[in-house]
Amino acid sequence: MRAQRTRVDFDSAWKLALEAFFPACLELLFPQLHALIDWEQEYVFLNTELQRIKPLLPGSRRFVDVLVRVSFKDGRERFVFLHIEIQAQRDPHFDLRMFIYYYHIFDALGYPDLISLAILADDDPNWRPESFIRSLGGCELAFRFPVVKLLDLDEAMLAEHPNPFAAVVLTHLRALKARGNLQLLFEEKVRMIRNVLQRGYNVEDILNLYRVVDYLMALPKELESQVNQIVREVARRHGLRRLTSLEREALERGARRGLQKGRREGLRRGREEGLQQGLQQGLQQGLQQGLQQGLQQGLQQGIVRVILLTLRSRFGKVPARVEHDLKKVNAIERLEELSLCANSVPTLAAFEQALQEVLAAQESH
């Protein structure tokens, strides 16, 4: 049952990401194609038509795909169709499937200009399908398609990149690395939320990226509840409504609170600096300050919770003094070190000794 939930989370995340950040996706992953498209013209998702057109192939392990109608800047009066396939698992028949889908779309739409793109989101660095080729008795077929392997992208570059789709890819890669390690996944999820809030995105992008992180980094109920507590702490301290995984409408209401606060600040600045500039600055401050402040404390509380869960699972009952002392640690880096220690120490007494050493070093500074 858990595996099914994870699959749905990945599927929902990428569908949302592609529709919310389509131009940004092409700009980051397929920049040469992005440069050919006339972005002043409307682009249209044709996913309903895609499901009607595509054949149902037995045994295929499809991730998610979209069909988009765009216009090029070449001056020709025609539409170009982009079929984008995101594949999360290695599939020995992926190249054949790409060709079959291309042909069915090409045939069903009356032989239009059509481009197939593949985003390989799996965890196998050696799997790189890029063509379907057959040759027999003088009859030859060669079908090649542009491919991006997400594992090839540098995480440090993604973390600093202003393109919001970089945050989508980074979240996916870190979710892959943390798969099977709930403690690491919890910490990565909170880090990604911090990253989203610190990058200076607009309100709508923050809302969509929050949802993407939430989908891609789905946690068991107890840890998910802890993430929700962190976000609720932000809301409580800064006047925003609750931002929880289980209440997505509340996320939007909270953003509107931040928007209203930003508008008020913008109006004040507008009287001094010009209305348009003031609104922009006020909105940015109203949302980002309200969400960022307090997240540090929430993250500390979350790591303490994970440490206690780890100790209880390994050693049984944990004395109240351990929790009391953990709450005295004021540096996230030290808490992360203690979190690793909780997984490796042979006894609870050994962990308490390490904890006391951290507190002693903290007091000496």
Question: Do residues 103 and 145 both lie within one domain?
Answer: yes
Question: Do residues 134 and 230 both lie within one domain?
Answer: no
| Mean pLDDT comparison of 88-92, 165-169, 181-185, 262-266, highest-scoring range | 165-169
Question: Do residues 243 and 321 both lie within one domain?
Answer: no
- pLDDT-wise least confident of 48-52, 297-301, 308-312: 297-301
Does residue 144 fall inside a structural domain?
yes
Domain count, the chain: 3
Question: Do residues 283 and 361 both lie within one domain?
Answer: no
Confidence check: pLDDT of 243 > 80: no
Question: Do residues 309 and 351 both lie within one domain?
Answer: yes
- Of all residues in the chain, the percent with pLDDT exceeding 70 is 76
Out of 152, 186, 205, pick the residue that ends a domain.
152
Residue 206: pLDDT band with limits 50, 70, 90:
confident
Cα(108)–Cα(75) distance, integer angstroms: 25
Confidence check: pLDDT of 155 > 60: yes
**In this predicted structure, what is the pLDDT of residue 330?**
83
Out of 293, 328, 352, pick the residue that ends a domain.
293
When the pLDDT of each residue in the chain is averaged and rounded to a whole number, the result is: 80
Confidence check: pLDDT of 82 > 50: yes
pLDDT digits (tens, 9 = 90+) for 20-72: 999 999 999 999 999 999 999 999 999 888 888 877 666 555 567 899 999 99
Does residue 3 fall inside a structural domain?
no
Strand partners for 119? 86, 148
Question: Do residues 310 and 271 both lie within one domain?
Answer: no
244 and 231 Cβ atoms separated by less than 8 Å: yes
Does residue 169 fall inside a structural domain?
no
pLDDT digits (tens, 9 = 90+) for 338-354: 888 887 888 888 889 98
Task: Read off the tokens for 8.
Answer: 């749905």
Does residue 362 fall inside a structural domain?
yes
Cα(155)–Cα(169) distance, integer angstroms: 9
Does residue 4 fall inside a structural domain?
no
Can you list the pairs that 208-212 forms with residues at least 24 positions away whose Cβ atoms lie under 8 Å?
A: 208/16, 208/17, 208/20, 208/21, 208/164, 209/164, 209/167, 209/168, 210/243, 210/251, 211/13, 211/16, 211/248, 211/251, 212/13, 212/16, 212/17, 212/167, 212/168, 212/171
Q: 257 or 222, which is more confident? A: 222
Question: Do residues 267 and 327 both lie within one domain?
Answer: no
Question: Do residues 147 and 48 both lie within one domain?
Answer: yes
Residue type, 102: Y
Does residue 23 fall inside a structural domain?
no
Residue 228: pLDDT band with limits 50, 70, 90:
confident
Question: Do residues 238 and 341 both lie within one domain?
Answer: no
DSSP state of 242: P
pLDDT digits (tens, 9 = 90+) for 95-121: 999 999 999 999 999 999 999 999 999
Does residue 76 fall inside a structural domain?
yes
* Residue carrying the six token digits 């009287």: 271
Question: Do residues 147 and 91 both lie within one domain?
Answer: yes
Cα(109)–Cα(111) distance, integer angstroms: 6
Does residue 231 fall inside a structural domain?
yes
Question: Do residues 326 and 365 both lie within one domain?
Answer: yes
Confidence check: pLDDT of 165 > 90: yes
234 and 293 Cβ atoms separated by less than 8 Å: yes
Question: Do residues 47 and 100 both lie within one domain?
Answer: yes
Domain that holds residue 116: 37-152
Out of 152, 174, 190, pick the residue that ends a domain.
152
**In this predicted structure, what is the pLDDT of residue 240?**
43
